[in-house]
Amino acid sequence: MTHTSEPASGENRDAKGNHRKSMAEKREHGKDIAVRGKGMHRRKFLGGMAGAGIAAVVGAGTTFSLLSGAAKNKASAADSTLVIPDLLEGTTTDSTTTFTLEAKTGTAEVLSGVTSDTMGYNQSFLGPTMKWTNGDTVLLNITNSLGADTTVHFHGAHVPAKMDGGPQVAFSDGTTWSPTFTVKDPATTLWYHPHALGTTAKQAVHGLAGMIIVEDSTDATAALPSDYGVDDVPLIFQCLAVDSAGDIKYDLTGYLSSGLSYPLLLNGTNVDSTTLGFTATKTRTRFRALNASPSDIITIQRSDGGTLTQISTDQGYLTEATDVTTIRLVAGARAEFTMDLSADATLQAVVTTGWVRGGSGTYDVLAITASGTDTPDDLPSTLNTIDRYDTSDFTARTITLGQSGTTMLINGSAGTSMSSMAMISTTVGAKEVWTIKNSTQLEHSFHLHDVPYQLISINGETPTGVELGWYDTYEVVGGGSIEIAMEFTDFSDDTYMYMLHCHLLQHEDEGMMAALMVTDS
């Protein structure tokens, strides 16, 4: 992995606070990015998107204002404020919390100065954040207004197969799907996105993605920041491929067309030549990072090389807070980290291509102004208890990620239809260790639905540090392999299946997906 080192925020800017064009030129494959007229268009875009942000922020009880924002603060290099996705209010009756979502089409400025056709949940691009509480029952009424079939998958959630939003539960335009389940996940960061056969990449890259925060009321980590948009901040990264007309690409034909740019978005705002601002009113801030890119890898780091305190992986807290200098997220992965901010800091995203021609480069994405005066308590010394699996009596399987030309395979089968995909059959109570073998030279991101997994080995090496956490999405490099272990604790069904697949969405649509049937033993 090559790290291009970028000067600290503010050192590479013109009088308007924009990065100089050299940043765009550094991108290996990206075409030059239109800078002319950008300010005006960007403001227009924020006008459309920011309403939700204001509502969420004001609702969270702060005087933080998008209009005063970081631009006035000379310590910050930001020229507009981080948009916080709206928090979706649920209504609770008879101990069931009901959320209403509508998948719909719209337009947004993905590439500065250009209007793209997009999709979103309840808005024109991306979706609101949902908060679920462990032990509660949730009901979602999701209406499809896309003009095409869709599903909504709760990525990382431990729910019955019928409620999981896989391809078997696709629902058509004009209809409403209403899954309901008890939240069994621990405190963690999940997300939701479409999962219909062959259209996942198209729908997700156009904006159908949102965050889910699971809270646990009995959680020993209650001392961690949890005031949404104030000291608990979502960071949704997307590196897309867009032509100069703003058409967002999602398949091989599109990716091979000429004149593409690879814009990086943070919470829906283009950060190619803009650094967003966030004012930390509390000394300690928690960030929840999600890589919602179709394929590229996002590595988060500080511009000053300092540490981030990672507290969780995909599937919940680490045993203890762990200082790291980088957090590498493959497509679909999440991580949470905290920063104790006694001075301003800038977060960078390093984009590493996940496929033949994706994005690349280092971006100053978020300039954080430290304005907290409080002294936070020490972080809890133990965040979680993770019993490492002893896999000696686990059932072993090999899952081979393969390819035949442009058709992607799992165990030799292309999962482009329910009848053609490979099927793994197991039973409730089974404990298994899987070797995920990448027989291609391409990068893959291995995602398993239903249950979390532990990493047993990574390319033959024993995991250490944050690799000892719980995952649902992990990198499998070209020619490499990982061993993962999991336990199928509950939820049997002999009709509805879970999926396991590459989270490079183009690969998933091209067949790198298999089914998992969990039946009663």
Residue 496 CA to residue 476 CA, distance in Å, equals 27
333-352 binders of ligand C2O (CB under 6 A): none
**Binding to Cu ion, residues 440-469 (CB under 5 A):** 444
Q: Looking at beta carbons, which residue is closest to ligand C2O?
A: 155
By CB under 6 A, tell whether 501 contacts ligand C2O: yes
Minimum CB distance to Cu ion smaller for 143 or for 360? 360
Q: Select from 508, 150, 505 the least CA-distant residue to 294.
A: 505
Distance in Å, CB of 426 to ligand C2O, minimum: 17
Distances (CA, A) of 32 to 20, 21, 36, 44, 277: 12, 8, 11, 22, 24
- Whether 192 and 219 have beta carbons less than 8 Å apart is answered as no
- Please name the residue that has the structure tokens 């949704």: 236
Task: Give the shortest CB-121-to-ligand C2O separation in angstroms.
Answer: 15
Q: List the single partner that 158 binds among ligand C2O, Cu ion, none, CB under 5 to 8 Å by kind.
A: none
Give the C-alpha distances (Å, rounded to integers) separating 90 from 101, 133, 164, 210, 326: 10, 12, 20, 15, 35
Residue 153's binding partner among ligand C2O, Cu ion, none (Cβ under 5 to 8 angstroms by kind) is ligand C2O
Sign of CA dihedral 224, 225, 228, 232: negative
Rounded to the nearest whole angstrom, what is the least distance from the CB of residue 80 to ligand C2O in the complex?
A: 29
Give the nearest distance from C-beta 17 to ligand C2O in angstroms: 36
120 belongs to the binding site for ligand C2O (CB under 6 A): no
CA dist 106 and 195 (Å) reads 20
Q: With contact defined as beta carbons under 8 Å apart, do 313 and 466 qualify? A: yes
Q: Which stretch binds ligand C2O (CB under 6 A): 132-140, 256-264, 422-430, 496-504?
A: 496-504
Q: According to the binding rule CB under 5 A, does residue 514 interact with Cu ion? A: no
Could you tell me how many residues of this chain bind ligand C2O (CB under 6 A)?
Answer: 10
CB of 453 to ligand C2O, least distance (A): 14
Binds ligand C2O by CB under 6 A, chosen from 193, 249, 286, 444: 193
Q: Does 225 bind ligand C2O (CB under 6 A)?
A: no
Residue 202: contacted member of Cu ion, ligand C2O, none (CB under 5 to 8 Å, by partner type): none
**502: contact with Cu ion by CB under 5 A:** yes
Which stretches does DSSP call E strand in 10-113? 80-81, 91-93, 96-111
Strands 96-111 and 114-121: antiparallel
Which residues share a beta bridge with 408?
Answer: 403
| Inter-residue contact 207 to 232 (CB < 8 Å) | no
Contact call for residue 233 and ligand C2O (CB under 6 A) = no
Give me the 420-459 binding string for ligand C2O, x by CB under 6 A, dash otherwise.
---------------------------x-x----------
Contact assessment for residue 338 and residue 219, using Cβ atoms and an 8 Å cutoff? no
203 or 221: whose CB is closer to ligand C2O?
Answer: 203
Q: Which one, 209 or 409, has the nearer CB to Cu ion?
A: 409
Contact between 507 and Cu ion per CB under 5 A: yes
- Picking from 455, 507, 506, 500, the residue whose alpha carbon sits closest to that of residue 482 is 455
Question: What per-residue string of b and e applies to 49-82 under the rule 16 or more CB within 10 Å gives b?
Answer: bbebbbebbeebeeebebeebbeebeebbbbbbb
User: Is residue 103 a contact residue for Cu ion (CB under 5 A)?
Assistant: no
Shortest Å, Cβ 513 to Cu ion: 10
What the block records as the tokens of 118 is: 């997009």
Which one of 499, 502, 512, 518 is in contact with ligand C2O (CB under 6 A)? 499
Please report, as ranges, the residues that interact with ligand C2O according to CB under 6 A. Answer: 153, 155, 193, 195, 332, 447, 449, 499, 501, 503
Contacts with Cu ion by CB under 5 A lie at 444, 502, 504, 507
